[in-house]
A = this chain, B = another copy of it.
């Protein structure tokens, strides 16, 4: 086309405020350039760094994120939402859960679009999976506690029902104890994922089993609750009891004492997810359906080494 004509058309477009109708384009081309992402909650730790880096990765290629949150970990709610999303014909899909109903799995398989399950490293992924092994991360953290001299390690877990992630973390805990030759402790207490409930659950746990010398919290938010309760009781952490979390929220390092936890490279997860998705959208299947992402034990003050662990029994304190 002549340069001058092109310029005139563009000026007209500008003047009239014309925006190409992507809806029509979608129908005609059978592509929407939308990536649907379904997370359990908009507030989950995943959102902050993961979605940002996923969006930053796919946006230059012209893809937008259609975001949904199930709000619960109920697989039926997830299925409903996935159905609604699939009806909008996204070019690819990201789901953050690892426990799906078989209907959901069939739905996603049938859709024919690339799907990545993110967060955990699913054994038998629907299509692809990007994440870290919850079990292995927990195992290493517990072994880290054992190595620091802790022996009576209990668990404060997020609600386990319908939550495979929590189940896998529990498994890693059991595995590590077994490996260290420590007897498995029945001291498991569950709490919803917020500071106040975690504090209460922690208090109940310590009331029941005052001899506990370390508590593994299956999420940093729970650990913050446990720390708050210790502070209320004027307990010395880690002398009275060590606390460890999992997730490395930004606030973990600012906690008092700074929280020993597992850092998860969520930004890397987002980039990787975006990369395998873009690759799959160009028709290349990735070599590996399972894409592991690093994690790292962050050793901080809340689980400093315990002096003479084997010879000295756990200190006992009157609660309150």
Contact = CB atoms under 8 A, between A and B. Distances in A.
Kindly report how many copies of this chain are found in the complex they form together.
2
A23 interface: yes
A122 B84 CA distance: 34
A48 interface: yes
Contacts of A211: none
Contacts of A227: 254
A52 to B, nearest CB: 5
Contact of A65 (B68, B89, B225): B68
Contacts of A194: 250
Contacts of A83: 19
Interface in A46-89: 47-49, 51-52, 55-56, 64-69, 71, 83-89
B110 A17 contact: yes
Contacts of A84: 64
Nearest to A109: B17
Given A110-B17, A254-B227, A256-B231, A43 B32 contact: no
Contacts of A86: 19
A200 to B, nearest CB: 14
Given A41-B52, A47-B42, A251-B224, A22 B88 contact: yes
27 contacts: A17-B107, A19-B83, A21-B27, A21-B89, A22-B87, A22-B88, A23-B27, A23-B88, A23-B89, A26-B27, A42-B47, A42-B48, A42-B51, A43-B49, A51-B69, A55-B68, A64-B66, A64-B68, A64-B84, A64-B88, A65-B68, A67-B67, A195-B250, A224-B251, A231-B256, A251-B251, A256-B256
